[in-house]
């Protein structure tokens, strides 16, 4: 029963952070309908998105200890463990590097967009 609740929480929080993130990246568009508080609202949406992401991450980690009884995924893949680690590093290192560069370039606008300042990224 806990494993089903964990999975449902993971799915709901994944949808939640997707919806709130999409809403948070449109403050200039929201300003036309919501008025001058649109940028504060976008910052609030990003904070809500961060909470949903944290819950989803916690559920993802918890899934290791609370797997579904009808889980279609195998506990171990048919290839050696070192290959899984290598693939994870090949994907994870560039993705993490890109995220760090993006957060550094965005600065405070990572969580709170500012009117009059366009978000930009420097090239590596």
The domain limits of the chain are 1-70, 77-124
The model scores a pTM over 0.85: no
Between 27-34 and 38-62, two packed helices, what is the crossing angle to 10 degrees?
130
pLDDT at 124: 47
pLDDT, averaged per 10 consecutive residues of the chain (124 residues), comes to: 88 94 84 85 91 93 82 78 95 95 81 69 50
Q: Taking the chain, what is the end-to-end CA distance rounded to the nearest angstrom?
A: 47
pLDDT at 122: 53
- Angstrom distance (rounded) from CA 112 to CA 83: 40
Is residue 34 within 8 Å of residue 115, measured between CB atoms? no
């Amino acid at each position: 029963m806990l494993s089903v609740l964990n999975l449902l929480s993971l799915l709901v929080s994944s949808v939640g952070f997707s919806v709130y993130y999409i809403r948070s990246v449109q403050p200039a568009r929201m300003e036309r309908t919501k008025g001058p508080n649109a940028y504060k609202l976008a910052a609030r949406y990003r904070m809500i998105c961060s909470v949903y992401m944290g819950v989803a991450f916690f559920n993802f980690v918890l899934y290791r200890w609370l797997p579904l009884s009808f889980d279609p995924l195998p506990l171990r893949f048919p290839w050696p463990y070192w290959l899984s680690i290598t693939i994870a590093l090949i994907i994870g290192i560039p993705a993490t590097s890109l995220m760090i560069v993006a957060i550094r370039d965005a600065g405070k606008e990572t969580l709170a967009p500012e009117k009059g300042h366009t978000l930009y990224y420097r090239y590596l």
